[in-house]
Chain A
Amino acid sequence: MDGGNLPRARNGLRGQIMMSLAHGGTQSMAALAAWIPLQPPTASKIAGEVDELYYFLTAVTLFFTALIFGFIFYFMIKYRRRSEDQRAEQIHGNVLLEVVWTIIPTIICAGIFIWASYLYVRNARPPANSTEIFVIGKQWMWHIQHPEGPREIDALHIPVGQAVKLTMTSQDVIHGFFVPAFRMKKSVVPGMYNSIWFKPDKVGTFHLFCTEYCGAGHSKMIGWVYVMKPADYAAWLAGQMRDQSMAQEGRLLFNRLGCATCHVANDTGTAPSLVGIYGKPEKLRDGSTRVVDETLLRQAIIEPNSILLPHYSPIMPTFKGQVTEEQILQLMAYIKSLGAEERTSTK
């Protein structure tokens, strides 16, 4: 795969046109753009929207920089000291001017804030029909786990036109998951789940970078995102099917670690049944209520005694250090599937 040149080639025309417009350039500008890349590849609708804001901000920056430089040069020449006894006209200030140049930047800043926040809030939550894929950062590689089973390292294959939600955590230090083509980034923090999502609208190969310094191999913790046509993606997925699905792996683990001894489907009073538990509110011994989500399940596995339930004694041992982050995700996939089975059977 000749990945190195792909993004640059894609960068081509649109980047050149945008930048030529922005800078009022001509052909020489386009020639320059072929030599110096000016715009990262754009592979999602959100990326285009972020770029619009970016170019607006660039225009604001250029305008005010030109304004200040313009005034400075004009005053520098007009009011240069021509003779030693040339005196300045002493002006203490001007309240009206102060008000004007306080209000105008405030209005511009307010406008930018609203624009940027609107984009951010609207794009913060993934659509309900997103495909969920799991990411584990580890010094110094990206482990990708597809729910259907396939695992990848430093590569992420996804279908074009389908929203993808990544649920991410780290096995060791803080990493940063960044795909410039999607204008999307999030820290990958040990001990918690962060998620991002994107909906690629272009087939191609795009850079994946680690953006949070993580040690010796930080700059080599890079990979590729392969956005494929749906048919190609299905073929790729089928070709990768030597692994079992995450839920199946999780079931084997559930039995091997002995979870199944206590957490049986029909609650016997030793431990709560896990069937259908995911996504439901659970009342804790201290009277508070928490929804059973990924964070709570992870906590229950790693530090079971930190979550006390009213009718069960705290006898569960900790699995800290005995399960990898990947295995925790597999256990979760299994627990989630228990919920799904129950829901389908009750219908």
Chain B
Amino acid sequence: MSTAVAELPTAPSESRVNYLNASYGIKSWLLTTDHKRIALLYLVSITFMFVVGGVAATLMRIQLIEPTGAIVEPEVYNKLFSIHGIVMVFFFLVPSIPAVMGNFLIPMMIGARDVAFPKLNLLSWYLYITGSLCMLYAIAAGGVDTGWTFYPPYSSTYSHTHVIAAVTGVFIAGFSSILTGLNFIVTIHKMRAPGMTWFRMPLFLWSMYATSVIFILGTPVIAITLFLMALERLFHVGIFDPAVGGDPLLFQHLFWFYSHPAVYIMILPGMGVISELIPCFARKKIFGYKIVAYSSMAIAVLSFLVWGHHMFVTGQSIYTGLIFSVLSFAVAIPSAIKVFNWTATLYKGSISYNAPMLYALGFIGLFTMGGLTGLFLASLATDVHLNGTYFIVAHFHYIMVGGAVMAYLGGIHYWWPKITGRLYPDAWARFAALIIFVGFNLTFFPQFMLGYLGMPRRYAVYPPEFQVLNVMSSAGATILGVGYVIPLIYLIWSIKYGPIAGPNPWGATGLEWQTPSPPPTENFEEMPVVTEEPYNYPGTEVPVRG
């Protein structure tokens, strides 16, 4: 199986002009309007931010080996989890799949030359970089200790750390999201190649479309919310701080009005990636194409109606709680439907187990667990116990890391030959996928148990009876960390030394595979015409039933 990749036909030579060697020099990158080059700019910058967030996480897990705190004072630990959360959510997960793979693939998948507004696309990256620099400044200047949730009145009045710099960073990076979403929506509406109807689009595009809708509708709300919080901190205007007549719960409503949909900004693109990987490596049409497409849109809409489930224990009225609880259960259904459809796609397939497929299967399993444990938190009676404990931490890491990061890595491995024109060693890649799966579960499964036992999150020190499970979690984090370093090494290695990939190493359908790797700057030598449904793999046909 591992050799199947190497045996595929290779491109004749690298002398062909492609987007990577079309021009040289730092200026040709920093002033590029090529969506593929911008995708690479994002890839490098979000990888750097991932490392920053990862270092913070590593220090946290070391700290928690000892109940009394192994390495730092609580003040420092508080900064570590705040930096970890802010960086990973706003500067890694939110831009990850949309800004890297969305940018690279959307024009290629619809058969276009570029996105609708290439200059705006470059501006988005500069906004992201400006936001990141503000955040890095906040870290270098001494850190921020509010948690990624920035709850007032702690953030507005009591914290003595660099809150303004951090929220400025998030505020500016938010505009990057808005412009990216705008660009994608217009591109998908207006620039599809002849014959590329809505229902001939790969499902990745449906998920990017749904994500872009949330980007545009949700991100302005977080921007306003953080702006008001900064005003409160600077001028004590009395919006959120009750000491000057404000309402601290108003902030939470506004914050979660964005930040719950933001969860779907992070997971919907992952679902889109998985919907590409499964058909490719099962050589099979996706099961229930339209249902999977519509469920992305259903999730995008419902995601705006469930924010109150973050606030069940804040003193909401009983009836508010009931309404948000029932809506939260409702949003679970389309996700469950997707899982069933992916699994059913494997049925009677011709399945190979290259590294991207291992990530995809890992995603299904971990996302299933993350989704099901969400039911504990949508349920009012159990949420009262589990809210604010490590159960929540475990739950959202199963979605964000077990889900979104697994999908991101799966996608990187899948499209890497297209992006770089090179293959990486598949055996190493499969080994890393396995290490990550094992390390991930060992890190986060014990946290479900800690949460049920009652250990609160964001604790720098903790009662001794929680130690065994914390040590297990830290041990798992070590394995997980190793799992993340391995791909970094062989992927960089492959850029120079990897075998030439050829246009379509996986034998996949989709327009992006019908052009050379790496693609030419204009993507396609002639305008492609689409005449068939997506995932049209050769095989025995079975007519639609029911």
Contacts and interface: CB of A to CB of B under 8 A. Distances in A.
Interface stretch (A100-108, A309-317, A326-334): A100-108
Nearest to A171: B243
Contacts of A133: none
Given A40-B454, A139-B158, A219-B74, A186 B373 contact: no
Given A65-B372, A90-B285, A91-B287, A57 B382 contact: yes
Contacts of A207: 454, 463
B387 A81 contact: no
A95 B543 CA distance: 12
Interface stretch (A68-76, A146-154, A232-240, A278-286): A68-76
Interface stretch (B27-35, B162-170, B267-275, B329-337): B329-337
Given A65-B372, A91-B285, A184-B384, A211 B456 contact: yes
Contacts of B249: 189
Interface stretch (A173-181, A246-254, A261-269): A173-181
A88 interface: yes
Contacts, number: 298
B465 A57 contact: no
Given A91-B347, A120-B318, 18 more contacts: A40-B452, A50-B385, A60-B372, A65-B368, A75-B347, A88-B349, A90-B284, A91-B542, A92-B287, A105-B333, A116-B325, A123-B381, A174-B153, A183-B384, A184-B384, A185-B385, A211-B387, A215-B159
A90 B537 contact: yes
Interface of B: 1, 4, 74-75, 78, 145-147, 149, 151, 153-154, 157-159, 242-243, 245, 247-249, 282-285, 287-291, 313-315, 318, 321-322, 325-326, 329-330, 332-333, 336-337, 339-341, 343-344, 346-353, 361, 364-365, 368-369, 372-373, 375-376, 378-382, 384-385, 387-389, 449, 452-454, 456-465, 468-469, 537-546
Contacts of B349: 75, 79, 88
Given A93-B288, A184-B385, A121 B346 contact: no
B322 A121 contact: yes
B318 A190 contact: no
B465 A4 contact: yes
Given A81-B350, A120-B318, A212 B388 contact: yes
Q: Quick one: which of B337, B382, B458, B463 has the most chain A CB within 10 A?
A: B382
A69 B346 CA distance: 12
Contacts of B454: 40, 178, 180-181, 207, 209
A218 interface: yes
Contact of A113 (B78, B325, B539): B325
Nearest to A190: B242
A163 interface: no
5 contacts: A95-B545, A105-B333, A176-B313, A189-B315, A218-B458
Contacts of A115: 379, 381
Given A36-B449, A105-B333, A180-B453, A68 B245 contact: no
Contact of B350 (A50, A88, A189): A88
Interface in A4-38: 4-5, 7-8, 35-38
Contacts of B340: 97, 101
Q: Quick one: which of B282, B340, B545 has the most chain A CB within 10 A?
A: B340
Contacts of A257: none
A246 B159 CA distance: 33
Contacts of B373: 61
A191 B353 contact: no
A195 to B, nearest CB: 9
Contact of A117 (B315, B322, B463): B322
A101 B154 contact: no
A185 B465 contact: no
B65 to A, nearest CB: 15
Contacts of B329: 109-110, 112-113
B449 A38 contact: yes
Contacts of A1: none
A36 B466 CA distance: 8
Contacts of B282: 79, 88
Contact of B387 (A69, A72, A185): A185
A97 B344 contact: yes
B346 A72 contact: yes
A177 to B, nearest CB: 9
Contact of A80 (B75, B353, B365, B542): B353
A216 B78 contact: yes
Given A120-B321, A173-B158, A88 B348 contact: yes
A102 B382 CA distance: 24
Contacts of B380: 116-117, 119-120
Contacts of A220: 74, 461
A187 B314 CA distance: 5
A178 B456 contact: yes
B468 A76 contact: no
Contacts of B315: 186-187, 189, 192, 194
Contacts of A35: 468
Nearest to B156: A173
Nearest to A61: B372
